[in-house]
Amino acid sequence: MKRIAILGSTGSIGTQTLSVIEQFPESFQVVALSAGANLARLVQQAAQFHPEWVCIAHPEQLEALQQQLIRASVSPMPKLVAGTEGLVRLATLPDADTVVVGLVGFTGLLPSLEALKSGKQLLTANKETFVTAGHLVQPYLQQIIPLDSEHSAIFQCLQGCQDVRTEVLKLYLTASGGPFREYSQFELERVTVAQALKHPNWSMGDRVTIDSATMMNKGLEIIEAHHLFGLPFNRIDVVVHPESIVHSAVHYVDGSILAQMGQPDMRVPIQYGLTFPARWINPVSETHLDLAQLSRLHFEPGDPERFPCLRLARWAGETGGTLPVVLNAADEMAVATFLKEEIAFTEIPRWIEAVMQRHLSDWQANPTLERIIETDAWARQAFQTLLAGQPVLK
């Protein structure tokens, strides 16, 4: 039986991971769950899966969590921890052999690194770990199975490949194009938060949904693919594919293109990650694709002029060092600011680029974890200072 700790259990990846696990109760045991602030859902999950450990993001919520667990008659009572220290504790539990990271943002970096250092198998959808600290992850690639649909697709298409650098011509990351693929610039400038949160194909958390609309999500995935699969940036392309049926593809040097296809349902790559290297019967019928029902599949280039976040991500990735850290932090801040309706949708890439430009004089190659954390904090402060119209402090 595989014993699993799930970081971010109440979010999109976490809830769908538990949905897969409950289909195979004799094969998986949940030993730990963590959540941000959704106490009600966390308590429901604890009552159903009986983890030995439960973590909440904010220490001040520990008492409320304990009281809700008692009222829900959760027995035995799990050990309770909180904050970053709690996440690291869950990520390194001796009783857990697999850690699933469904955390969004920079929060996922430290527990992911600690899980890898402690020898865990890491199933992760936290692209920020690779974006901000890809060079620190390199020694542990054999322990990692990607859960993002795009990187899972490439991972699957590379099975049997002996040498990626000599056998693979190009990687294609597919993108739906988001809800505004055909909008004019005039229409984009008037996009509302409610419109941006309505993704046409996928059900995701708020930040990832906005990142999908701006295509920053795909930009971050380019950087992640570079670190995961070891190809230079000029051999990683983005292709807009509105149907979200082809999840990504590998173009081999002999002319063959292997693509992984399926319904836009995260339970498929999650199940593959949990059962790898085997494939198990998927009992959820709606996850199965009927080729006879497909009419046409469309593909077009990802345009960095129309989607400036793609250009910013490539710039950060090719420059490397601390610049991707700034890219990610500024994006998190810009998305949060847009969600509060304090900036326009089209201003998101402009604010990100402004913070990146401010950082160039302090850029550093191969940053340590401590420098990464410092740079992340600097970028967030720089964003707030710029937003307030003040000079950016170093």
Q: For the segment 353-379, what is each residue's pLDDT rounded down to a tens digit?
A: 999 999 999 999 999 999 999 999 999
Cβ contact 69:44 at 8 Å: no
209 within a domain of the structure (yes/no): yes
Phi, psi of 13 (to 5 degrees): -65, -45
pLDDT of 286? 77
166 and 302 part of one domain: yes
Is 329 found in the same domain as 365?
yes
Q: Is residue 41 part of a domain?
A: yes
Using the 3D structure, point to which of 126, 146, 166 is the last residue of a domain: 146
Q: Is 42 within the bounds of a domain?
A: yes
Out of 123, 146, 169, a domain closes at 146
Quick one: 204 and 337 in the same domain? no
Number of folded domains that form the chain: 3
Token pair of 310 as six digits = 């793609």
Q: What is the mean pLDDT of the segment spanning 123-133? A: 97
Query: Does residue 328 share a domain with residue 291?
Result: no
Looking at residue 390, its pLDDT comes to 64
Mean pLDDT of 202-213: 80
Flag whether pLDDT at 140 surpasses 90. Answer: yes
In whole angstroms, give the CA distance from residue 231 to residue 134.
13
Q: How far apart are CA 365 and CA 322, in angstroms?
A: 7
Region of 353 please: left (phi>0), alpha (psi -120 to 50) or beta: alpha
Confidence class for position 202, pLDDT limits 50, 70, 90: low
Assign 208 a pLDDT band (cuts: 50, 70, 90). confident
- On whether residue 394 sits in a domain, the answer given is no
Helix H, strand E, coil C: the string for the chain is CEEEEEECCCCHHHHHHHHHHCCCCCCEEEEEEEECCCHHHHHHHHHHHCCCEEEECCHHHHHHHHHHHHHCCCCCCCEEEEHHHHHHHHHCCCCCCEEEECCCCHHHHHHHHHHHHCCCEEEECCHHHHHHHHHHHHHHHHHEEECCHHHHHHHHHCCCCCCHHHHEEEEEEEECCCCCCCCCHHHHCCCCHHHHCCCCCCCCCHHHHHHHHHCHHHHHHHHHHHHHHCCCHHHEEEEECCCCCEEEEEEECCCCEEEEECCCCCHHHHHHHHHCCCCCCCCCHHHCCCHHHCCCCCCEECCCCCCHHHHHHHHHHHHCCCHHHHHHHHHHHHHHHHHCCCCCHHHHHHHHHHHHHHHHHHCCCCCCHHHHHHHHHHHHHHHHHHHCCCCCCC
Q: Are residues 221 and 243 in the same domain?
A: yes
pLDDT for the residue 220: 96
Q: Structure pTM?
A: 0.94
Rounded Cα distance, 67 and 356, in Å:
45
Query: What CATH number is given to the structural domain containing 375?
Result: 1.10.1740.10
Residue 161 and residue 297 share a domain: yes
The pLDDT assigned to 394 comes to 45
| Whether residues 37 and 154 fall in one domain | no
> Is the domain of 196 the same as that of 133?
no
The pair of three-digit structure tokens given for residue 64, joined into one six-digit string: 């409320």
108 and 184, same domain (yes or no): no
Q: Integer distance in angstroms from the first to the last C-alpha of the chain?
A: 50
Note whether residue 268 is domain-resident. no
Interval 236-256: pLDDT, tens: 999 999 999 999 999 999 999
State the maximum Cα–Cα separation within the chain, in Å, rounded to a whole number: 62
Position 391 scores a pLDDT of: 61
Residue 343 and residue 278 share a domain: no
pLDDT, tens digit, 9 for 90 and up, residues 281-336: 988 767 789 999 898 999 999 888 888 999 999 999 999 999 999 999 999 999 99
Look at strands 236-240 and 300-301 and give their pairing. Answer: antiparallel
Task: With beta carbons less than 8 A apart as the criterion, state whether 150 and 244 touch.
Answer: no
- Give the model's confidence band at 201: pLDDT under 50 very low, under 70 low, under 90 confident, else very high: low
In a domain, 392, yes or no: no
Token duo for residue 320: 């490397």
The CATH number covering residue 106 comes to 3.40.50.720
In a domain, 393, yes or no: no
Q: Is residue 192 part of a domain?
A: yes
Mark whether 197 and 289 lie in a shared domain.
yes
Range(s) of the domain holding residue 128? 2-146
Domain boundary among 115, 146, 177: 146
pLDDT at 206 over 90: no
Same domain, 161 and 43: no
